Amino acid sequence: MKLTIDFFIAWLRSLRQCFSENRDYLTRLDSAIGDADHGINMERGFSAVYEQLEKQSPKTVEELLKLTAMTLIRTVGGASGPLYGTFFLRASAATSGKSELAVEDLVTLFEAGLGGIIQRGKAEPGDKTMVDAWIPAIAAVKACAAQSPGDPAETLQKAAEAAETGMRNTIPLQARKGRASYLGERSVGHQDPGATSTFLMLDAAARVAENS
Task: For 181-209, write each residue's pLDDT tens digit.
Answer: 878 899 899 999 999 999 999 999 999 99
CATH of domain 3-210: 1.25.40.340
CA–CA separation, 196 and 104 (whole Å): 25
Task: For 144-188, write each residue's pLDDT tens digit.
Answer: 998 867 789 999 999 999 999 999 999 999 999 887 887 889 989
On the question of pLDDT at 98 being above 90, the answer is no
pTM recorded for the entire structure: 0.95
Contact 178, 207 (CB under 8 A): no
Domain range list for the chain:
3-210
Task: For 55-84, write each residue's pLDDT tens digit.
Answer: 999 999 999 999 999 999 999 877 888 999
Within 13 A of 30's CA, how many CA atoms are on the CB side? Answer: 25
Nearest to 132 by CA among 162, 103, 91, 94: 162
